[in-house]
Structure 1
């Protein structure tokens, strides 16, 4: 590529074996704790996930990925996209590569709504592409409970059958929130599991699984995948290994715990949206649906 030429952007899909491997090698060079190797080996990279990368001599130098999403906005399903793995190798910065891959990814999205979660170091970058920041809230509720009954068993997402079961619940089950959420994002949740970032997946019944664990006196309930109604309070004693005084939710709990108040602002990941009108009521996009 000459100094004045526009960077050539390559679209990488699940069947592009060599380019996919190069992308997997790129990610930990930019995002030190992240990896796509195990997730890709699990077969979780499907046609909903596309990477737009500048590739030179078999190396990915910059990238912006797109995940097709079945977004839910106040109960209405909308096809949209979420960006992720946006970055550039440190030694390649200043060449316009990040802009090139962002433009290619957004061209792919067309007029559909787009969202992304950014780290605080790049908050000035995304408004250049028409994105606006939006607040995300935290929800927590006081609740005292002690362990009782047989503990809910833990499921292992390294097993293909467990991943298939999660996909079925995610695609056809009751969404964890309809205020601002999504359907069919099991492959995002499995990415967290493949990286060791997810809380344990616990089986309540064949048709109800949750990602949850206890820290100090708080039960952190990150997500619920269920085919139908669930008496969540009845299951809490089987999800805890010590007394708790509080529950924190990784989503808007309007369905599961409607009285849960806003406990603060989510400052761990900054939400940006383009072409997306969010609810006026407090909301939190499910944490296991973040790319």
Structure 2
């Protein structure tokens, strides 16, 4: 830790403090107040690994501002790339408009832009004017979908129980051994996927025995939201769709860009989260009709 003076106030800068209970507790209080979640269970379950690094300012022993990085490896059309995703950008309400996030953003970019293939982040509508100040540029993303006609699910599946250590171990092993199904496929980062699987997606994890594949998906009305597929061998997405959908499902929306997009329609994503890439690392993504996998978003 080190002392930092900003606008006549002295702060303590801390980085990667996951094993410091006092700082971690204060950090989680701020994430809960700003975003509505805590990383405490993620830490105790052993999934807060070395790839997630907070850059944090403290004042009076309290976390008041933060910018985190997630170091993520991707297979992109057969080439291994390493990206730095910036996230958990937050400042205590009483400390806003003091340049704290600006200091942390500049420090993160300075330390990482030459150590990685690209730097990126997702921003909501309220901060779209903030990130261009740091040389970030908006990038369009495209999502793939299709209509289907399925009379009944063609094979049996079971829901995995994230309270069962055997199911958890099975899922983690399959994530690590999986074959890419997407043009942008996150690799070697089971910890980020487990953040979702132990929280927002804990009731959305299915094992299809016939295909020997684990699927993360949600069913909403007549639509199947297929977030990811984990299989040791190459697998056809249509086989998964047919195996898990019944006659009530008429539409499928993918949470990734399929390696084979035959039969799928692509559509420009228009949502509250906008993708920004650092401009000097921008070229590889230009003119690609891609999206980052939904389970890779931190």
Whether these two folds match at TM > 0.5 is: yes
Q: What's the TM-score, normalizing by structure 1?
A: 0.89
Superposed CA RMSD: 2.4
Task: Answer whether contact 1:81 1:109 (CA < 8 A) is retained.
Answer: yes
Give the counterpart of 1:86 among 85, 89, 111. Answer: 89
Structure 1 window deviating more from structure 2 (138-147 vs 271-280): it is 271-280
Query: Is 1:290 the counterpart of 2:283 in the alignment?
Result: no
Is 1:19 equivalent to 2:12 in the alignment?
no
Contact 2:158 2:206 in 1 (8 A): yes
1:65 matched residue in structure 2 = 68
2:26–2:62 CA contact under 8 A, matched in 1: yes
Give the whole-Å Cα distance in 2 for the aligned partners of 1:163 and 1:268: 32
Post-superposition offset of 1:158: 4.0
State which of 83, 92, 99 in structure 2 corresponds to 1:96: 99
Q: Report SS of the residue matched to 1:244.
A: coil
Partner of 2:251: 246
Moved more, 72-81 or 88-97: 72-81
Aligned to 1:131: 136
Q: Confirm or deny that 1:118 pairs with 2:106.
A: no
Question: TM-score w.r.t. structure 2 length?
Answer: 0.87
Gaps of 5+ in 2: none
What CA distance in whole angstroms lies between the structure 1 residues aligned with 2:246 and 2:265? Answer: 25
Report the Cα distance in structure 2 between the residues aligned to 1:209 and 1:268, rounded to whole angstroms: 29
C-alpha contact (below 8 Å) 2:156/2:208 kept by paired residues = no
Distance change (3 Å), C-alpha of 1:201 and 1:134:
same
Separation in 2, partners of 1:253, 1:140 = 10
Aligned to 1:43: 46
What SS does the aligned partner of 2:174 have?
helix
Q: 1:265: which partner in 2?
A: 269
Out of 110, 119, 129, the position equivalent to 1:107 is: 110
Change in CA separation of 1:81 and 1:169 when aligned onto 2, cut-off 3 Å:
farther
1:195 to partner: Cα distance: 3.0
Q: Is the 8 A contact 1:13 1:49 kept in 2?
A: no
Match of 2:55 in 1: 52
The CA deviation string for residues 96-143 of structure 1, in whole angstroms up to 9 with x for no partner, is 111122123223324121111111111111111121110111211111
* CA 110–98 in structure 1, closer or farther in 2 if over 3 Å, else same: same
Partner of 1:155 in structure 2?
160
User: May I ask how many residue pairs the two structures share in their alignment?
Assistant: 288
| 1:145 alignment partner, one of 145, 150, 154 | 150
Deviates more, 1:20-29 or 1:197-206: 197-206
Displacement over 6 Å in runs of 4+: none
Contact 1:7 1:100 in 2 (8 A): no
Whole-angstrom distance in 1 between the partners of 2:168 and 2:138? 33
Residue 85 and residue 160 in structure 1: after superposition, are their counterparts in 2 closer, same or farther (change >3 A)?
farther
Deviations 1:204-260 (A, max 9, x none): 2495211112212111101111211224433434423552221110111233x4321
Equivalent-residue separation in structure 1 for 2:213 and 2:286 (angstroms): 27
**Which residue of 1 is the match for residue 288 of structure 2?**
281
